Amino acid sequence: MNILHASSEVFPYSKTGGLADATAALARAQAAAGHTVTLVTPLYRGIREKLDDIGPSGIELQVPLGQAKLQAKVWRLEQEPNLTVLFIDQPELFDRESLYGQDDDAERFIFFSKCVSRLTKPEHLDLEIVHAHDWQSGLVMPLLGCERVGKVFTIHNAAYQGRFTADKFDLTGLPKAYFDWRQLEFHGEVNFLKGGIVFADLVTTVSPRYARELFTQQYGCGLEGVFQARGDTLAGVLNGVDYTEWNTTNNPHLSAAYCADSLDGKSANKQTLQQEIGLPACDTVPLFGNISRFTEQKGIDILIDALEERLGDEAAFQFAGLGMGDRFLERAMSSLAKRHPKQIAMKIGYDKGLAHRIEAGSDFYVMPSRFEPCGLNQLYSLRYGSVPIVHATGGLDDSVIDLGQGQDTATGIKFGDCSAEALGQALGRALALYAKPKNLAKVRDNGMRADFSWRQTTAEYGRLYAKII
């Protein structure tokens, strides 16, 4: 198939979260499977200077935006066989210090969506599927109009919808009739995510359970009725893992290689991590890890309270954390580390190498997210032999088998109530598991041998695409 993906961020060129990883990995996997794949994304500040092989595509676009007409150059990068990345170069809109959070985000991503819709014309690309991701490219779906391509829209997180004042609708150039509660209008505003959902032939999200959760008031974020209207044309496809990036056998970020058949290096990585972050070197107590954006969604407040409660009991464990975001949560976690320096270590910020070392050096990985459309770190943890402790929601529930189902198949520990008390009980279960090395080894082995590669995700998307072509 000839497939085009539209995404506002693509690893390794731009990234704020899992969207960048997922779109890049899916495109690579589809190309490796023999499909012809084009990936379209904005040319943000600094990208062109870092790429030696990027060159002009020969395509220049003139796009109306209100009363103005803006020009964009399209740069081309042949990333690998069957995979081409096209960058939309419009410095006025995309040469910024940050990807999002600008006063003119509506204009920026209306423009991006219009550019994508123009690239789908036969004179530029011969396509069968146009696959847009999240609110930033949601308007691609209605802008395609009657183009004879299959239109697929993926929601990576329904909490982020691209809602703007009603006057921004005129910039889209879409028929005024589309500003209606059945289509793009949402409580008097224009909603880009809703536009993607309504006008796509097929809507997907990033795990089967999250697809079901979107039908509910708790998780639908006000759009549950829109999701319900899609019915069987809303599907959940679990994201995969790029095992060329996230592996324990050929990884420059790790001090020692290891795998399910030879775990000696796991202990060495734990010692390296303890030394790096200033925890006492000790292999007789479990080390918990967490890497996260500090937001309400990620349940960091719950994690802090649960750790505090366990520390009060003087339980024998250590914790290594890495993350940034909400200033209050950053201060609270840093304060916890200062008060318990022999048990808690916390680095505020982003550090790719340390992220790999926390996954490899920890015995358990904690994800108390209030909701999690898919989640990636629990998948990395399984391969790295760090037993995940997760709130049973979204993709976390789909990808982890609870210890209560028997150690022959279990890969982790789940808790149902998203509270500090429930997480504390889950941490207690982890401590009990650690005290039984044979049982821990079995659960760890189950997780390390689980296959969450993108091959499965690619095959499922191939099946779904075939239904709408």
Report d(CA 404, CA 431) in Å as an integer. Answer: 15
How does pLDDT run across 219-273, given as a tens digit for each residue?
A: 999 999 999 999 999 999 999 998 998 999 999 999 999 999 999 999 999 999 9
Give CA separation, 277 vs 80, 320, 415, 453, in Å.
Answer: 37, 8, 28, 31
Which of 151-160, 306-315, 343-352, 367-376 shows the lowest mean pLDDT across its residues? 306-315
How does pLDDT run across 105-148, given as a tens digit for each residue?
A: 999 999 999 999 999 998 899 999 999 999 999 999 999 987 88
Considering only CA atoms, which of 175, 420, 144, 169 is closest in space to residue 308? 420
Segment 298-309 mean pLDDT: 96
% of the chain at pLDDT higher than 90: 94
Contact 31, 4 (CB under 8 A): no
Residue 41: both structure tokens together: 């994304």
Segment 403-421 mean pLDDT: 96
Report d(CA 222, CA 216) in Å as an integer. Answer: 9
- The residue count for the chain: 469
**Is the bond preceding residue 373 a cis peptide, omega within 30 degrees?**
no
Q: Strand, helix or coil at 414? A: strand
The secondary structure of the chain in percent helix, strand, coil, rounded to multiples of 5, reads 40, 25, 35
pLDDT interval class at 312 (50, 70, 90): low
Contact 343, 317 (CB under 8 A): yes
What pLDDT does residue 17 have?
A: 83
- Cα 77 → chain centroid: 23
Report d(CA 369, CA 292) in Å as an integer. Answer: 10
What pLDDT does residue 18 have?
A: 86
Which of 122-126, 212-216, 327-331, 360-364 shows the lowest mean pLDDT across its residues? 122-126
What pLDDT does residue 407 have?
A: 87
Around Cβ 340, how many Cβ atoms within 10 Å? 15
Amino acid at the residue 208: P
Residue 53: both structure tokens together: 């092989």
pLDDT interval class at 177 (50, 70, 90): very high
- Domains of the chain, earliest start first: 2-240+454-468 (3.40.50.2000), 264-449 (3.40.50.2000)
H or E stretch at 466? helix 454-468
Indicate whether 411 pLDDT > 70: yes
Segment 85-95 mean pLDDT: 98
What pLDDT does residue 315 have?
A: 62
Mean pLDDT of the chain: 96
Segment 4-30 mean pLDDT: 94
What pLDDT does residue 313 have?
A: 55
Considering only CA atoms, which of 283, 273, 275 is closest in space to residue 351? 273
H or E stretch at 58? strand 55-65
Q: Which residues, other chains included, contact 245 with Cβ-Cβ below 8 Å and sequence gap of 6+? A: none
The partner residues of 203 in beta bridges, in order of sequence, read 153, 234
* Main-chain phi, psi angles of 439, to 5 degrees: -65, -45
Contact 202, 235 (CB under 8 A): yes
- More confident site: 315 or 71: 71
Report d(CA 94, CA 249) in Å as an integer. Answer: 38
Indicate whether 393 pLDDT > 60: yes
What pLDDT does residue 123 have?
A: 87
Around Cβ 217, how many Cβ atoms within 10 Å? 9
% of the chain at pLDDT higher than 70: 99
Indicate whether 314 pLDDT > 60: no
